[in-house]
Chain A
C-alpha cells in the first residue's frame, strides 16, 4: 500500500466515503468503474442504443416523406423528429462512438495503464448518459424541441417555441457538452503525459494522433456552443435579449456562435474515423502508412482550418460578396489537406498485398463515400451557386455522405477491427461481408438520389410536398432504400452482439496488426500492460514481430502494478447535475437539491480515501 494518507478528515456522517468501492463484478462494479476499457464499453453500448433511437426517428421521417400529402407526422411533430434525429445522431450516437474508441484504445495504443484522470473519465460517461436522458425526456414531458438541430434564433425564443422542448434541448446539450469538454481535456493530458517512454509524438499511432487533434477541437469548439446555449437559456427564461431583434439583439449572432462550433464538429466526427481508417489500411495492405508525417500534419491542418470556414453555412444570410468570397476560399482550401489524406491512403494500398477482411471493406468504402461528400462539399463552397443548393436535399445528401460515409463507416470498421480487443471475440467473416454489402448498397440508394431532389428544388425539413412538385417517385424510392439501410444496420449490431456472446475466441493479434494494443491479450487484463513498453520506432509492435525480438520493457515497480481506485463520486455528481437540469427546466427547487447533491459529491470526490491500489505482477513471460 502507498505510504501517504489523507490528512484532511471527513465529517463523521460522511465517513463511509473513506473507503473506495472495490466490487469487481456485477452492476456496482460498472457503476463505480474507472477502468478506461469498461468506460469504453459503456460508451459503445450506449451509443449503439442511441444510434437505434436516432435510426427509428429517421425512419419515421422517411415514412412521412414516402409520398406526397401524407399526414403521419405533421407540422411540429415532424419538426421534433427531424430535430431529435439530428441531435441524437450527432451528440448521442456518433460522437460517443468516437469516444468509445478513444477510451478503449488511446491508453492501449500509447502503452499506458489508464487515462490521466480515471474518475473524470467515468464522470464524462455519466454526463453523456445524463444528457441523453434529458434530451429524450422531452418526448414524454410536453414534446421535444422542434426548432431544428441548429436551432436558429428567434425561432427558439419563448415566443415562437413556447413549450419546454427547447429548454430540455439546451440543458441536454450543455450536459453532453460538459461530458465532451472534460473528456477532451482528459485525453489531451493523457496523450501528452502518459505515452510510453520513447514514444515521441511523431511515433504515436495515427488513431491516437487524430484523437489528440479531435480533443483540441472539442476543447476549443464546445465552450462556444455551451456559452451560446446558456445565453439562449437566459433569453428564454430570464428576460435577456441577446438574440431578440425587437429589443436590439441579433439573431445572426446565434448563427455565428453555433457554426463556430458546428463546422469543427464535422471534423470532430470525421477525424477519429480517418484515424481508424489510417490504422486499418496499412494493416490489411501489410505496409506502413504512406507518408505518416503528412497524414498527421494534414489532420492537424484540417483541425485548424476547420475553425476558419464556419460562415459557409451562412452564405444566404446576406453577408455580401466580400465575406462570401472569403469563406468560399477558406472552405475550398480544406480540400488540400483532405486530399493529402486520400492520396496517402491510396498510396498505402499501392504495391501492397491487400487482404479484404471486413474492416478493410468498410475502410475503403469510407474513402469512396467521403470523396463523394467531399466533392459535394467543394461544390457548396462555391457560394455563388450554393445560393441554389443551400438548405435543399443536396445538402442533406452531402452531410450524410460525410457524416455517415466519412464517419459512421469508419466507426463500423473500427467496431469490427477492434472487437477482438474489446471483447476477445471476433465477428463472423462471411456474414460480416454480406452485411457490409447490404449497408453499402442501401446507403448509396438512400442518399445518392437526394442530390437529385436537391437540384429539383426540394428544401430540407419540409414535412410534406404536393404532387405537382414531381418529387413523389424519388422520395418513395428513397424511403424504401432507407428501410433496407435501417434493417442492415440493425443486423450489423445484432451480429456484433452475437459475436460478443459467441465462443469465437480471438487471439491477441488476429489481424497481424502494427500497434501496441495488439501486443497484449484480447481482451486486455485490467492493468493493460504488466510490463510497460519502451518505444524506439513507429509501429514498435510490428517491428518486434518482423525482427522477432520482444518489445523492451521498463523495470517492474516493487509495490506491484499501480491501479486507480474505483469511485461512486462520478456517478453521484452526474446524478446531481441531472436532477438540477430538470429543476432548471421547470424553475423548481429541484435545481437546488440537484446542485446540493453535486456539491456534496464533489466534496466527496476531493476527500474520499485511498486513491490507488496495487496488483501483484503476473509471472514473467506469461502475458
Chain B
C-alpha cells in the first residue's frame, strides 16, 4: 500500500521518452554515487561511535592528537574529484537537452499559463485548445512557454523536466514521447489559490490519429442539434459567456480570458483534470465553479457568479451544458 506511489502517473522514474529517460539516468547516477559515499562515511562514523564508546568508570584521557594535514588534504582531493565526477555528465546533459537532435523536424507548440489553466496552440495547424492536447509519438515537440499573469511551471514528469512560464518571457523546452498514452502534467510553481488544480494532460498518439485530431480541432465548432443545445447556444451569448470564451465560427464568441471551448465536448476531463467531463459534472461546474477550483477567474469575475441579477437558473445551466457537450 505504501508503495502505491510507484504507480503514479507522474512518476518520473518511469520515463516515456528520451528526455525524461536521460534525466532519470543522471538522477540515478548521482543517487547511487551519493548512497555509496553515505554508506562509506556514515559507516565510518557509526563504527567510530560504537568502537570508541567510553567504558563506564574509565576516566583516563584518550590520545589527544588532533591534526592530520595530509589526511585532510587527501579527503579534500577525494571530495573534489567526486564533485567533478558529477559535474561532467551534468554539464553534458544540460547541453544535450538544450535542443532536440539535429534533423528531427520538431513540432512547435505554444504553451501559455493562465491562473489556473493551460492554453495550448499549435501554430502549424492553427489550433488553440486548453488543458488537453495530442502529440505525435516519436517526434520531438518544442514548446514555447509563457504566461499571461503570474509565474507557472510547465511539467509533464514522465516526458521531461519542467520549465517556468514567466510573464514577458518566452521559455524553451522540448521533449518527445516514445509510447502512446495519456501523460499527466501539472503546474509546479505556486500561482495562487487553485495551484493544486492546474493540471493538464498530453495524449501521445500515432501520426494518423494525430492528423485526424488536428483536422477536427482546426475546423469550426459543430452546430447544435438538439433543441436544448440550440437554446444553450443562445444563452452562451446572452449570458455573456462569450466575453471570456471563444468558439470557432460563433460570431462574437472571441473571449480570451477563459479556455477556448470550440471542441469542448471532446475533452476527457474538466476543472483542471479533476473530474470526468460528464453532463452532471459540467452542470455542477456551471452552477458553482468555485467549489471545484477556489478563486478561479470564472467564479471571481463572471457576472453570473458575483451578481444575483445574472445568476444562472437550473434550466439555463442544463441548456448551456447540453450545448457545450455538443461542441464536439
* A339 beta carbon closer than 8 Å to chain B: yes
* A563 beta carbon closer than 8 Å to chain B: no
For A348, the chain B residues whose CB sits under 8 A away are: 66
A window 136-173: CB within 8 A of B:
146-148, 152, 154-155, 160
Please judge, given known A-B contacts A318-B172, A352-B62, whether A457 and B4 are in contact too, CB under 8 Å: no
A interface, size bucket? 35 or more
Residue in chain B with minimal CB distance to A376: B34
Q: Is the CB of B76 within 8 A of A340?
A: yes
A-contacting 9-mer, from B184-192, B214-222, B246-254? B184-192
* Closest Cβ–Cβ distance, residue A583 to chain B (whole Å): 29
Looking at chain A's contact residues, the main secondary structure is helix
* Closest Cβ–Cβ distance, residue B285 to chain A (whole Å): 16
Binary per-residue interface labels of chain A (334-372) against chain B in the complex, 1 for a CB within 8 Å, 0 otherwise: 011001101111111111111110000000100110011
Please judge, given known A-B contacts A288-B66, A316-B163, A348-B66, whether A250 and B168 are in contact too, CB under 8 Å: yes
Q: Which of A289, A332, A367, A453 contacts B5 (CB 8 A)?
A: A453
Q: Is the CB of A74 within 8 A of B23?
A: no
* B284 beta carbon closer than 8 Å to chain A: no
Please judge, given known A-B contacts A316-B162, A321-B95, A364-B49, whether A339 and B27 are in contact too, CB under 8 Å: no
A-contacting 9-mer, from B36-44, B102-110, B125-133, B319-327? B36-44
Q: Which of B8, B150, B151 contacts A469 (CB 8 A)?
A: B8
Binary per-residue interface labels of chain A (575-595) against chain B in the complex, 1 for a CB within 8 Å, 0 otherwise: 000000000000000000000
* Closest Cβ–Cβ distance, residue A65 to chain B (whole Å): 10
* Closest Cβ–Cβ distance, residue B152 to chain A (whole Å): 10
For A461, the chain B residues whose CB sits under 8 A away are: 190, 195-196
Q: How far apart sit A152 and B97, CA to CA, in the bound complex (Å)? A: 26
Binary per-residue interface labels of chain B (131-172) against chain A in the complex, 1 for a CB within 8 Å, 0 otherwise: 000000000000000000111010101001111101111011
Max chain B Cβ within 10 angstroms of own Cβ: one of A333, A352, A468, A472: A352
Q: Is the CB of B41 within 8 A of A382?
A: no
Q: How far apart sit A324 and B23, CA to CA, in the bound complex (Å)? A: 15
* A308 beta carbon closer than 8 Å to chain B: no
Q: How far apart sit A97 and B52, CA to CA, in the bound complex (Å)? A: 32
* A251 beta carbon closer than 8 Å to chain B: yes
Q: Is the CB of A387 within 8 A of B49?
A: no
For B23, the chain A residues whose CB sits under 8 A away are: 384-385, 387-388
Q: Which of B38, B97, B190 contacts A384 (CB 8 A)?
A: B97
Q: Is the CB of A378 within 8 A of B151?
A: no
* Closest Cβ–Cβ distance, residue A245 to chain B (whole Å): 3
Q: Is the CB of B8 within 8 A of A291?
A: no
Q: Is the CB of A160 within 8 A of B150?
A: yes
Q: Is the CB of A318 within 8 A of B161?
A: no
Please judge, given known A-B contacts A463-B196, A466-B274, A470-B7, whether A320 and B98 are in contact too, CB under 8 Å: yes
Q: Is the CB of A473 within 8 A of B66?
A: no
Q: How far apart sit A317 and B197, CA to CA, in the bound complex (Å)? A: 21
For B76, the chain A residues whose CB sits under 8 A away are: 336, 339-340
Q: How far apart sit A353 and B172, CA to CA, in the bound complex (Å)? A: 58
Max chain B Cβ within 10 angstroms of own Cβ: one of A289, A318, A329, A389: A318
Q: How far apart sit A286 and B13, CA to CA, in the bound complex (Å)? A: 47
* A325 beta carbon closer than 8 Å to chain B: yes
For B5, the chain A residues whose CB sits under 8 A away are: 452-453, 455-456, 470-471, 473-474
* B9 beta carbon closer than 8 Å to chain A: yes
Q: How far apart sit A74 and B197, CA to CA, in the bound complex (Å)? A: 11
* B225 beta carbon closer than 8 Å to chain A: no
* A464 beta carbon closer than 8 Å to chain B: yes
Q: Is the CB of B72 within 8 A of A391?
A: no
Residue in chain A with minimal CB distance to B158: A457
Residue in chain A with minimal CB distance to B1: A473
Please judge, given known A-B contacts A317-B166, A472-B4, whether A355 and B161 are in contact too, CB under 8 Å: no
Please judge, given known A-B contacts A318-B163, A470-B7, A477-B2, whether A79 and B190 are in contact too, CB under 8 Å: yes
* A400 beta carbon closer than 8 Å to chain B: no
Please judge, given known A-B contacts A245-B168, A335-B83, A350-B52, whether A470 and B27 are in contact too, CB under 8 Å: no
3 closest A-B pairs by CB: A387-B161, A457-B10, A75-B294
30 contacts between A and B (CB under 8 A): A79-B192, A146-B193, A148-B190, A152-B190, A285-B52, A287-B63, A291-B67, A292-B66, A294-B72, A317-B164, A317-B166, A321-B94, A332-B83, A340-B79, A346-B41, A351-B52, A353-B52, A353-B53, A367-B45, A375-B38, A379-B31, A384-B97, A388-B160, A456-B8, A456-B13, A457-B157, A461-B195, A462-B195, A462-B196, A473-B5
Give the A-binding residues of B (Cβ under 8 A): 1-2, 4-13, 20, 22-24, 26-27, 30-31, 34-35, 37-38, 41-42, 44-45, 48-49, 52-55, 58, 60-68, 71-72, 75-76, 79-80, 82-83, 86-87, 89-91, 93-95, 97-98, 115, 149-151, 153, 155, 157, 160-164, 166-169, 171-172, 184, 186-197, 274, 294-295
Beyond the given A332-B87, A391-B153, could you list 4 further A-B residue pairs with CB under 8 A, ordered by the A residue number? Answer: A155-B192, A252-B169, A316-B162, A351-B52
